Structures are given as C-alpha cells and as structure tokens.
C-alpha cells in the first residue's frame, strides 16, 4: 500500500498557476515526489514551454509527519524552497517577486518530501497544501 496523494490543478493560465496537494499517509511517507511538473503545464500564447515557477503564496495544513514536509527545487542537487511545519501556515512572498528557483541544472519542477522520509510518517498523517505561483518561460 502507498500514501494516498493527489495533485489538483486549480488554475493553469498563461501567467498564474494554482495547485492543491493532498496526502493521507499509510505510514510510507514521500521522498522527492514531483508535485509541479513544468513540462506538463500550458504554454504561453507564443507557444513557449514553461520552464519554471516562482512561488507567490502557500497555504498549508500539516497534521503529523513528525518534522513536517519540505518543498524543494528539482536540480542536480535539489535546493530547499521551503520547509512546512506541522499545523496551519500561510506564507506570502508576492511582495518580493516570489520564491525563485535556484541550483545547478534546475528542471523547473517542485518536489515534496516528508522530512525524515518514511521514518517521520505514521498512518493517518495528512497534509493539504495550496500553492499560487507565477510561470516563467524559456
């Protein structure tokens, strides 16, 4: 059995992206799971493919997962976008242009891990994360 996870795209416009991430854990946890796959996002009006996102806002409710969860920028060596602790949080980075992706050979994708991998997950742990981001093009 595996964690019951879902990525729901609420909006995939030319500029804006809103996704909802959910998980109900069976105790397995997640490690480096792609949650925003830029190659699957819509292109701009000129046909340019999205090559990255800047996270503008995050709303999160994390229940369990001893040390919380972490969003990372997918790269040769992944870089931390933001850790999310247990409980309810809201982060707004829009006044500074959002959290831009960085690292060597970034793919533009955003991944999620339960901190500590499966060792931090217990059956019944859950999260709900809503991410509002702006899209960038090659």
Closest CA to 20 of 33, 31, 11: 11
Kindly state the average pLDDT of the residues 52-60: 98
Kindly state the average pLDDT of the residues 114-119: 71
Is it the case that residue 119 has pLDDT exceeding 70? no
Looking at every residue in the chain, the average pLDDT score rounds to 94
Is it the case that residue 120 has pLDDT exceeding 80? no
Q: 28 versus 92: which is more confidently predicted?
A: 92
| 138 confidence band (pLDDT: 50, 70, 90) | confident
Give the chain's domains with CATH numbers: 4-137 (2.60.120)
Question: What's the pLDDT at 74?
Answer: 96
Q: How does pLDDT run across 68-84, given as a tens digit for each residue?
A: 999 999 999 999 999 99
| 85 confidence band (pLDDT: 50, 70, 90) | very high
Q: Is the pTM of this model over 0.85?
A: yes
Is it the case that residue 67 has pLDDT exceeding 90? no
């Amino acid at each position: 059995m595996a964690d019951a996870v879902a990525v729901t795209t609420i909006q995939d416009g030319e500029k804006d992206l809103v996704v909802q991430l959910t998980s109900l854990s069976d105790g397995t946890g997640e490690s480096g799971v792609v949650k925003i796959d830029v190659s699957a996002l819509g292109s701009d009006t000129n046909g340019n493919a999205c090559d990255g996102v800047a996270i503008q806002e995050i709303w999160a409710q994390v229940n369990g997962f001893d040390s919380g969860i972490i969003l990372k920028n997918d790269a040769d060596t992944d870089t931390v976008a933001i850790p999310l602790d247990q409980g309810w949080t809201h982060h707004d980075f829009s006044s500074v242009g959002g959290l831009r992706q960085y690292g060597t050979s970034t793919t533009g994708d955003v991944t999620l891990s339960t901190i500590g991998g499966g060792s931090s997950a217990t059956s019944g742990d859950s999260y709900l994360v809503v991410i509002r981001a702006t899209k960038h093009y090659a």
